[in-house]
Chain A
């Protein structure tokens, strides 16, 4: 082609116009002009459609995954992000009709915009969540809308660049099929490789780089027909450099944002088969988070663990064999080992990563007084329900310290089926204690556990204590209904304590009006009533 394209008149519109472009718009500049024939350019452009589609989907997946990761509630987050994104793409497609001139230049600009906004999107999201808190949702949807609009613009533009080269049928068929294939490739790669291996922040940068590379490539392909090809190329390179830097230092970015997220310094983080374990420290305060939920703060965990163990164990002068279910942090075991009559403690915790961490890390061993390495302690990593079913041992005292019943799997550990197994493993005159969520924030849940224990053949004695980092917390001490003894609180505590004291008992065993018993049904495997109570109460409490 000898005439510079920027000066050519517009090409005749095909009669079966797709409506994606405005054929009557006057004054269109020349980079809309018909392109040289030949397959290379067509193939290059179709390949770019493939990449563009992949990039477009990846930003959507990143936004949805990041919001799920940070806000939870995956169904809501995914459907909102996808809905807003698709709507924004619609807006973008609509707006494409107003791009009437310099289609190639606009296409390069839009590619670069996507590269910047999309490439930095994950980093921006994590940082706003960490620093701006409530502003996060605004930023999230702003990013989703922007990327959506840009992605919605780009396909119509590519189609317009290609339309002189392909018949309408071929055009739509080929562009859409490359679009779909690109999207498919990414939708497979994202959960299998990108999210787990690269992480969200780095994946975003990687695809930003691809968008910028497409822009640079487009400048190269159309270099003859672009007036300002050099300036555009420089822009592309600058964007590429910024994104590559982001890609290289994404680990640091991740750490910085996660540090801010937990506000304290992260001293340990790992994902076991069972859960995500994060330990943070701020001055003297060590905190354990499992799947983002606080398990203890070293500032006040002694209140929780003393209240869990002492009111019962102090009354069991003959307790030689003790069983702890859950509690892989070894903090309850630390309290138990204060009693000289205890000869053995069996700790059953699902997660070997937890018990290993708390029996090896120096700071944590200091916190649990190295209880997990005591010769009296036997650690078993097993599912408590299954373990209890298979065990043939009898115990004098059992501590049940499971996570709150926030899902059906955990809810099983609070059913009559579970408690009747427990009863079979309790020796004559044995007692047990169960952590039972908050009688203040989850009142029905707490009393449902009490009712379930009654139904399972126990005499329950509920009590509660204030643990500042948790709030008002509930426990239930139980004896067997047909057993020889009734529970009554100890007259005094003989082992050293920082919180428990007989003078506390009136407050401990009295439930004020706002925590008084409410009628509930019994939690069974076939109704999982507790999970429903807990979910309702937790939702009302607004996390």
Chain B
């Protein structure tokens, strides 16, 4: 009877939610936040006012996301504070922005940092400066603040009506599938240990430290799905995990992602398949990576100009001229800076570089050659935790097997209170099944209620009671959340062109941002931001002892 009731209820809800009627009178209230696409589209469509006033600055950082903030942190750490950050959105943080309500802080995007590898040296120094890493950041096994490490239980997967305490969907699979799974695990282990002819790790993070051996970089020419097929992997479990991984880290289906990027997810950290529980730990906070942003802002007190859109970039011999639209004042100004760090999505720079020399045109074309995956995150404020029925207890990361979403994380999981109270669940939904352009159209056209219903119907599968305990659903729609690591981007000519620009003598325009790597990851954003800041410091005549990883 129970199951019949459940089926009847599910059918009724499917009928109510799936039709053209995407809203229901029972949809809980909430807000819709979008990235400033009206501002971005003004850049695309032109027609911004010409500038009146001209300001001079020593250094300008365009973009106050993780990359721009890492540049700012690095400059300040070297004792240099004469810089200004320009941010298109109304607040800093980029993908690491966060929200806050009476119940908890919660992430709007990036929500964890895996324990940094030895190559992510700058990241470790940054984490040490904000009190997350305790003691020597260059220690072989650095210590992390216990409260920042994800608390147990870490994760669980809802599959076949049951929660299990691992994301591996291997319970009850056939012998052939299990063999396939084990073969995939051992393939990953090989890649983790592999080094190219140049002696570098095949897959390192930050990826600049990876081997350039074609044996590995050639993997960038095919898709992850094609690689699985070429290697003869047929099991649903392997395909699910790989596609989950690419959707999780890149917001893209594994049929659209380069095999190098797909394997990088599994192979760049030794512990991806480690059985040692202490190794696959990650750092996380109620606000997600917003905690890192909060700490950097509180300690750095950087000069940030919000809602400032750079719509024209003119690199010159002695300086760089920026035309900046100040949305709050509805006017443009010109900022002439000795050095500019571009720490915003590269496609925006391509538009701002329109015109100019053929060299600049060539650069703009290289910058333009990338697309961005759109995302939805929905934050559900609940009066209490969902019931812990059907298997493993509620974890930090809760993944639903048969779902286009990535499941949800629990914002209050890192708390220490003994009695469970109200909480916030962050539901992640990359629009990976359609093209980024189609996804952005959906983002523009669909109302908050439609996304809220999608989240509720998805979470309803494991938690039939979810509607009765949901008080609010706040939706965040990000049209350009993550760069798509399509085949050929990471090790192709466009990235090489940008690197060449960065390393040419005399350049005053430095490209930071995770786009320089082609993977939208904290370590990449940080490393690129620090690299650009160190290049600026060198140009300004400072003696720089790098914080980045040195080979050797």
Give A contacts to B, CB under 8 Å.
53, 56-57, 60-61, 74-75, 78, 82, 85-86, 89, 151, 179-181, 183-184, 187, 273-274, 350, 383-386, 389, 408-410, 412-413, 415-418, 420, 524-528, 531
Contacts and interface: CB of A to CB of B under 8 A. Distances in A.
A526 B419 contact: no
27 contacts: A56-B1, A60-B2, A61-B2, A78-B389, A82-B2, A82-B3, A85-B1, A89-B1, A179-B4, A181-B8, A183-B4, A183-B8, A273-B419, A383-B417, A383-B418, A385-B416, A385-B418, A386-B417, A389-B416, A408-B393, A409-B419, A410-B418, A412-B151, A417-B416, A525-B152, A526-B154, A528-B152
A279 to B, nearest CB: 22
A508 B281 CA distance: 39
A408 B152 contact: yes
A463 B9 CA distance: 56
Given A57-B5, A180-B5, A410-B418, A528 B151 contact: yes
A14 B150 CA distance: 64
Interface string B72-90: 0000000000000000000
Nearest to B394: A408
A526 B281 contact: yes
Interface string B139-164: 00000001101111110000000000
B47 interface: no
The winner among B146, B153, B281, B391 for most chain A CB atoms within 10 A is B146
Contacts of B416: 383, 385-386, 389, 412, 417-418, 525
B8 A274 contact: no
Given A386-B417, A524-B146, 14 more contacts: A57-B2, A75-B389, A85-B1, A183-B5, A184-B8, A187-B2, A274-B419, A383-B417, A408-B393, A412-B151, A417-B146, A527-B152, A527-B277, A528-B152
A389 B147 CA distance: 12
B389 A183 contact: no
The winner among B1, B8, B153 for most chain A CB atoms within 10 A is B1
Given A187-B5, A528-B151, A409 B420 contact: yes
Nearest to A183: B5
Given A75-B391, A525-B146, A527-B152, A409 B1 contact: no
Contact of A184 (B5, B278, B390): B5
Contacts of A61: 2
Contact of B3 (A86, A274, A386, A531): A86
Interface size class, chain B: 20 to 34
B146 A526 contact: yes
Contacts of A86: 1-3
B154 to A, nearest CB: 8
Given A273-B419, A525-B146, A53 B1 contact: yes
B539 to A, nearest CB: 42
A87 to B, nearest CB: 12
Nearest to A151: B1
Interface string B402-431: 000000000000001111100000000000
A75 B390 CA distance: 6
A82 B3 CA distance: 9
Nearest to B162: A75
Contact of B149 (A56, A89, A525): A525
Q: Which 4 A-B pairs have the closest CB atoms?
A: A528-B152, A180-B8, A385-B416, A526-B149
Interface string B516-548: 000000000000000000000000000000000
Interface in B99-118: none
A350 B418 contact: yes
A79 to B, nearest CB: 9
A336 to B, nearest CB: 23
Contacts of A179: 4
A86 B6 CA distance: 14
Contact of B418 (A56, A384, A415, A526): A384
Interface of A is mostly: helix
Contacts of B393: 408
Contact of B146 (A60, A85, A416): A416
Nearest to A418: B416
Contacts of A531: 152
B9 to A, nearest CB: 6
Nearest to B161: A79
Interface string B489-516: 0000000000000000000000000000
Contacts of A350: 418-419
Contacts of B8: 180-181, 183-184
A389 B96 CA distance: 27
Contacts, number: 94
A415 B277 CA distance: 16
A409 B418 contact: yes
B296 to A, nearest CB: 23
The winner among A74, A78, A525 for most chain B CB atoms within 10 A is A525
A234 B9 CA distance: 39
B544 to A, nearest CB: 36
A420 B4 CA distance: 51
The winner among B9, B150, B416, B420 for most chain A CB atoms within 10 A is B416
A57 B1 contact: yes
A409 B393 CA distance: 12
B150 A526 contact: yes
Contacts of B1: 53, 56-57, 60, 85-86, 89, 151, 183
Nearest to B152: A528
Nearest to B387: A74
B513 to A, nearest CB: 31
A85 B281 CA distance: 43
A412 B390 contact: no
A81 to B, nearest CB: 9
A412 B147 contact: no
A117 B416 CA distance: 47
Contacts of B419: 273-274, 350, 383, 409
The winner among B154, B390, B417 for most chain A CB atoms within 10 A is B417
A179 B3 CA distance: 13
B106 to A, nearest CB: 19
Contacts of B147: 417, 525
B305 to A, nearest CB: 37
B284 to A, nearest CB: 10
Contacts of B149: 524-526
A60 B9 CA distance: 18
A53 B2 CA distance: 11
Contacts of B2: 57, 60-61, 82, 86, 187
Contacts of B150: 526
Contacts of B281: 526
Nearest to A412: B416
A82 B390 CA distance: 13
Nearest to B163: A75
A527 B5 contact: no
A526 B5 contact: no
Contacts of A526: 146, 149-152, 154, 277-278, 281
Nearest to B282: A526
Contacts of B418: 350, 383-385, 409-410, 412-413
A528 B153 contact: yes
A519 to B, nearest CB: 16
A474 to B, nearest CB: 22
Contacts of B5: 57, 180, 183-184, 187
The winner among A53, A179, A389, A527 for most chain B CB atoms within 10 A is A527
A380 B420 CA distance: 19
A209 to B, nearest CB: 20
Contacts of A53: 1
A350 B418 CA distance: 8
B281 to A, nearest CB: 6
The winner among A56, A273, A412, A526 for most chain B CB atoms within 10 A is A526
A93 to B, nearest CB: 12
Contacts of A389: 416
Interface string B264-308: 000000000000011001000000000000000000000000000
